[in-house]
Amino acid sequence: MTSSIRPVGPGVALVTGACSGIGRALAEGLAERGHDLVLVSQREGPIGEAAREIAAAHGVRAHAITLDLARPEAAGELYAEVLRRGIEIDVLVNNAGVFFFGEVADADPDRANAMLQLHVVTPSLLCTLFTRGMRARRRGRVLIVSSLSAWRDIPGIAYYGSSKKYLRGFARALRSELSVYGVTVTCLAPGATATALYDPSVVPVDLGKRLGVMMAPRDVARAGLEALFAGEAEHLPGGLTRAMALGAVLVPERVIGLLRRHAPWLRPVGR
C-alpha cells in the first residue's frame, strides 16, 4: 500500500513496540492528541489490529509496519519503508523492548544479542535516520523509553539494565545536540508496569497491579506524553518509581551483595 501523509496538524508519530503495553498506550495517547501514526512491531496480527482500532477510535490515520527490530538491518529497513510510503515523521518514540532474568554467564547468546540490537543499535540508528529531517525542518520530538533499572546496576538483569542505561545516556547527549535546532528529546524511565514484558510465571503481574506496586501502562504513557510535550529531559512516572530511583542511587553496595546472594532470579550461591 502506498499513501502519503502530509505534515498538517500535530504531525505523524512513529511508535515502536506499539501492539501492547506502554507502546500501545503511547500510541493511543498520541492519537488522542490528533497525531496520525506509524505503528511498528514484529507480529503482523496484533500491530494491524492496534492500528485499525486506534484509527477507528480517534479518527486518525494509522499505518502498521511489521518488522523484527532486533535484526541489524531493521532501522534502515524501517526508514526506507516510511520514506516509500511518503510519510514525514514529527514524533519518534523508541519503545520496543524485551526482558529476561538471569546471570550473564547463563544467558543464551542469541537472546542477549537480540536484546542489545533491540535496545541499543536499532533505537540509536532510528534516531540518526529520523532526526536528520527533524533537524532540517527545525521541529520534532523524540521519546526514548529507558527504565528505572538504568539508575543502579542490579545482578540478574545486567543485559537489560545496562542497555537501558545506554539509552538514558544516549537520550541526554542527543538532547544537547538537537536542542539548538528546536528538536526536543525526552527519556521516559518507567518503574514496574503491568504489561506482557514479564513472564507471568516469574513475575506476578496481576498481583503487582492489585497491590499498587505496578503501574498501569496508560498511566505511564500519560505521564510520558506530558513530559514529551513539555520538553522535559527525563521523567520517572509515579511517586513510587521516583522514590525507588532515589533508593537505587543511595542504597549501599553491600545491599546489592545481599541481593545477589538471595535474589530468587539468580542461582543459589555455591551451585
Ligand X SMILES: NC(=O)c1ccc[n+]([C@@H]2O[C@H](COP(=O)([O-])OP(=O)(O)OC[C@H]3O[C@@H](n4cnc5c(N)ncnc54)[C@H](OP(=O)(O)O)[C@@H]3O)[C@@H](O)[C@H]2O)c1
Residues with a catalytic annotation lie at: 160
Binding of ligand X by 124 (CB under 6 A):
no
Binding of ligand X by 62 (CB under 6 A):
no
Binding of ligand X by 244 (CB under 6 A):
no
Three-state DSSP class for 141?
A: strand
Three-state DSSP class for 116?
A: helix
Report, in Å, the least distance between residue 28 CB and ligand X.
Answer: 13
Helix or strand holding residue 15 (H, E):
strand 12-16
Choice between 140 and 238, CB closer to ligand X = 238
Q: Strand 140-145: give its sheet, edge to edge.
A: 62-66, 36-41, 12-16, 89-94, 140-145, 183-188, 234-235
Report, in Å, the least distance between residue 9 CB and ligand X.
Answer: 25
> Which residue from 31, 65, 70, 127 is in contact with ligand X, where contact means CB under 6 A?
70
Report, in Å, the least distance between residue 139 CB and ligand X.
Answer: 25
CB atoms within 10 A of CB 262: 10
CB atoms within 10 A of CB 243: 12
Binding of ligand X by 20 (CB under 6 A):
yes
> Which residue from 11, 12, 14, 23 is in contact with ligand X, where contact means CB under 6 A?
23
Separation in Å, CA 255 to CA 32, 191, 240, 259, 262: 44, 20, 20, 6, 11
Q: Indicate the DSSP class of residue 5.
A: B
Three-state DSSP class for 64?
A: strand
Binding of ligand X by 186 (CB under 6 A):
no
Task: For residue 153, give the C-alpha cell.
Answer: 546496576
Choice between 123 and 140, CB closer to ligand X = 123
Task: For residue 111, give the C-alpha cell.
Answer: 537472546
Task: For residue 43, give the C-alpha cell.
Answer: 507480529
Binding of ligand X by 196 (CB under 6 A):
yes
Binding of ligand X by 157 (CB under 6 A):
no
Report, in Å, the least distance between residue 41 CB and ligand X.
Answer: 3
Binding of ligand X by 237 (CB under 6 A):
no
Site for ligand X, rule CB under 6 A: 17-23, 41-43, 46, 68-70, 95-98, 118, 145, 147, 190, 192-193, 195-197, 217
